[in-house]
A and B are shown apart, each in its own frame.
Chain A
Amino acid sequence: MERIPILKMGDCLLVTIQVDMHDRLAMTLQDDLTERIAKHRARGVLIDISALEVVDSFIGRMLGNIAAMARVLDAKTVVVGMRPAVAITLVELALSLPGVSTALNVEKGIALIRETLEHRRGGSGRSPA
């Protein structure tokens, strides 16, 4: 059965979606991801959707669900790499992914997670650039 690979990077997990999502695949991804978050005590989840040319309401809802599940397990989810055309379509469809953080690319996504974790831990503000 096809699976979406989940890569571990320090205390973050990286999920790169490159194929069309269907409900079975989404369910598998949710199962795998929650398991891995718990197992590795991951603090952040990065979902890279830069390969997706079409994001519909189904994927939108799935991203929201994953973010909510990760939050319960105390991990922050950041969706990265959305294309301009996809962003415009989502806004026109009135799907602005509430509750999901976004970043331009994986690098910025990791920086965002670091910043949030630091903020949460010490409240000392961001690390020096």
Chain B
Amino acid sequence: MAPGTSRIPDIVGKHEGDLLTDWMRNQLARIRRDLIDADELREQSRRFLALLRTTLQNGGSADMDITGPEWAEMRELLADVSRTRARQGFTPSETATFVFSLKEPLFTTLRREFARDADALGTETWTTTRLLDALGLFTTEIYQKGREEVIARQQQEMLELSTPVVELWEGILALPLIGTLDSSRTQVVMESLLEKIVSTGAGIAIIDITGVPTVDTLVAQHLLKTVAAARLMGAECIISGIRPQIAQTIVHLGVELQGVVTKASLSDAFAVALDRTGLAIRSG
């Protein structure tokens, strides 16, 4: 269809009130009423219809490409709606329903308007479907993006939570590492260890790698960096929890752990640390 020949903007303009009422009824029947109140929904729907009309009148219908600049305001509105709905706990289908539920009242109106012209009805219906589908999919996309942001934030929080530094004894710190050690995690680990060394005045830190699944050259390098930084702060490091498999890997890879005390288990490392601080455990 040539641009500008569509009568949809006129029809939307003429029947805006009726469309809104029908659409609202349609939405309210499907939506979970406990999550959003009718006034908010009405306001969102009203703004959507008004924007649809003005955008189409300004030539936005040309090729139904909703990524164009003339659709910017509409995209903003939909993004806003999606984001609030994601927060309110709507499912993706429920969020997309906001746009898709407009089809029924709009098609009814079109059928009434083009009662005598089956050809035009078909064309206009097709145009409207494509447009509303694009807009509906856009809301889903934004919804998804919102969720991804939440996941990324949680990842960041996990990163911070997963590096505890514990004080085993006065002057002895332990750093149980769990999970893969990458550069960003090493940075966090290093910072929290050094801060803890300053605040506790510890002289020995035990880095336990029982929970590190694999040790490759990069992980080993990260470990050595942490050890070097702790040494600059005046604390000695012991690496413990080296499983037999990992010991073999380290040797096969030719990684040098020179100048670092390594122990198979955390208890052995703790014994060494106690010995260094001049302490001993006796039974009895």
Asked if A26 CB lies within 8 Å of chain B CBs, one says no
Q: A77-105 toward B: CB 8 Å interface, digit per residue (1/0)?
A: 00110101011101110001100001111
How many contacts between A and B, using CB within 8 angstroms? 58
B233 touches A84 (CB 8 A): yes
B201 touches A91 (CB 8 A): no
Contacting residues of chain B (79-137) with chain A, CB-CB under 8 angstroms: none
B198 touches A84 (CB 8 A): yes
Bound: A44/B233 CA distance, A = 18
Give chain B residues whose Cβ lies under 8 Å from the Cβ of A82: 232-234
Number of interface residues of A (CB under 8 A): 22
Residue of B190, B201, B229, B230 near A108 (CB, 8 A) is B201
The closest CB in chain B to the CB of A92 belongs to B225
B171 CB, min distance to chain A CBs, angstroms: 10
Asked if A72 CB lies within 8 Å of chain B CBs, one says no
A88 touches B234 (CB 8 A): no
Residue of A88, A105, A126 near B229 (CB, 8 A) is A88
Q: B200-213 toward A: CB 8 Å interface, digit per residue (1/0)?
A: 01010000000000
A87 touches B203 (CB 8 A): no
A91 touches B197 (CB 8 A): no
A108 touches B228 (CB 8 A): no
A102 touches B278 (CB 8 A): no
Number of interface residues of B (CB under 8 A): 20
Q: A84-B195, A108-B203, A129-B278 are in contact. Are A103 and B228 (CB under 8 A)?
A: no
Asked if B191 CB lies within 8 Å of chain A CBs, one says yes
Give chain A residues whose Cβ lies under 8 Å from the Cβ of B231: 96, 102
Residue of B201, B232, B277 near A87 (CB, 8 A) is B232
Asked if B239 CB lies within 8 Å of chain A CBs, one says no
The closest CB in chain A to the CB of B198 belongs to A84
Bound: A128/B278 CA distance, A = 8
Asked if B172 CB lies within 8 Å of chain A CBs, one says no
Contacting residues of chain B (170-197) with chain A, CB-CB under 8 angstroms: 187, 190-191, 194-195, 197
User: What are 21 A-B contacts with C-beta separation under 8 Å?
Assistant: A79-B232, A82-B232, A84-B191, A84-B195, A84-B229, A84-B233, A87-B229, A87-B230, A88-B187, A88-B190, A90-B232, A91-B190, A96-B228, A102-B231, A102-B233, A103-B234, A104-B197, A105-B201, A108-B201, A108-B234, A129-B277
**Residues of chain A whose beta carbon lies under 8 Å from any beta carbon of chain B:** 79-80, 82, 84, 86-88, 90-92, 96-97, 102-105, 108-109, 112, 126, 128-129
**Residues of chain B whose beta carbon lies under 8 Å from any beta carbon of chain A:** 187, 190-191, 194-195, 197-198, 201, 203, 225, 228-235, 277-278
